[in-house]
A and B are shown apart, each in its own frame.
Chain A
Amino acid sequence: YKDGAWKDEL
């Protein structure tokens, strides 16, 4: 899971 990739879930 790419840390720092801004959250991709609601």
Chain B
Amino acid sequence: MNIFRLFGDLSHLAAIAILLLKIWKTRSCAGVSGKTQLLFAVCFITRYIDLFLHFVSLYNTEKVMKLIYISASVFTCYLIFFKFKATYDGNHDSMRAEFLIVPAAGLACLINTKFDAIEILWTFSIYLEAVAILPQLFLISKTGEAETITSHYLFAQGSYRALYILNWIYRYHYESHVDTIAIVAGVVQTILYCDFFYLYITKVVKGQKIVLPA
């Protein structure tokens, strides 16, 4: 474990907590893409399948973190699609999730470390996570704005994988550890946040709200 991965995981936890708080406190999921949250839930379940196969986890905190990620993302989907369904902005959350899931699944079967079920599921989860934020970014571009709390959620969510890139550089240098699939997908994922990061740093930090040219 290194500082980059630690802060990456903390940033990821913060993102999940910020989103849950926003929905729970405002009792509304306006401005939140339910599809992105569904895709994240699928990512966690397919990636942490070892929890269900009784793989010996490396250390307890990791098992706890995996359980938190899975339960929090499923609970977030429950809030969006059931509890606060009336506030779900289905019209603007219109990016076809199939266009993300099918290519990720296909690519996972073509480019993977080992052609076995659990490895392909993990690879699918990595590829899907790289593009899972697209429906959320698409929704913001359709509504033309993002609530400040949602911007903080996106900043934390984007920072998590950006910090993981630093973690991979660190591990390459000190542990000669390289996982090309995770690195390439992580770089693509972080690049997708670039224009949002620019807007966040130039606007939200100054107290303004993000309003996209509609």
Contacts and interface: CB of A to CB of B under 8 A. Distances in A.
Interface of A: 1, 3-4, 6-10
Nearest to B57: A6
Interface string B186-210: 0000000000000000000000000
19 contacts: A1-B176, A1-B179, A3-B113, A3-B114, A4-B114, A6-B50, A6-B55, A7-B122, A7-B179, A9-B5, A9-B164, A9-B167, A9-B182, A10-B9, A10-B12, A10-B62, A10-B65, A10-B66, A10-B69
Interface string B143-172: 000000000000000000000100100000
A3 B113 CA distance: 8
A7 to B, nearest CB: 6
Query: Interface residues of A: mostly helix, strand, loop or mixed?
Result: loop
B3 interface: no
Interface of B: 5, 9, 12, 47, 50, 55, 58, 62, 65-66, 69, 113-114, 122, 164, 167, 176-179, 182
A3 B178 CA distance: 10
Contacts, number: 24
A1 to B, nearest CB: 5
Contacts of A3: 113-114
A10 to B, nearest CB: 6
Nearest to B160: A10
A3 to B, nearest CB: 7
A4 to B, nearest CB: 7
A1 B178 contact: yes
Given A1-B179, A9-B164, A9-B182, 13 more contacts: A1-B176, A3-B113, A3-B114, A4-B114, A6-B50, A6-B55, A7-B122, A7-B179, A9-B167, A9-B179, A10-B12, A10-B62, A10-B69
Nearest to B118: A6
B173 to A, nearest CB: 13
Contacts of A10: 9, 12, 62, 65-66, 69
Contacts of A9: 5, 164, 167, 179, 182
Nearest to B164: A9
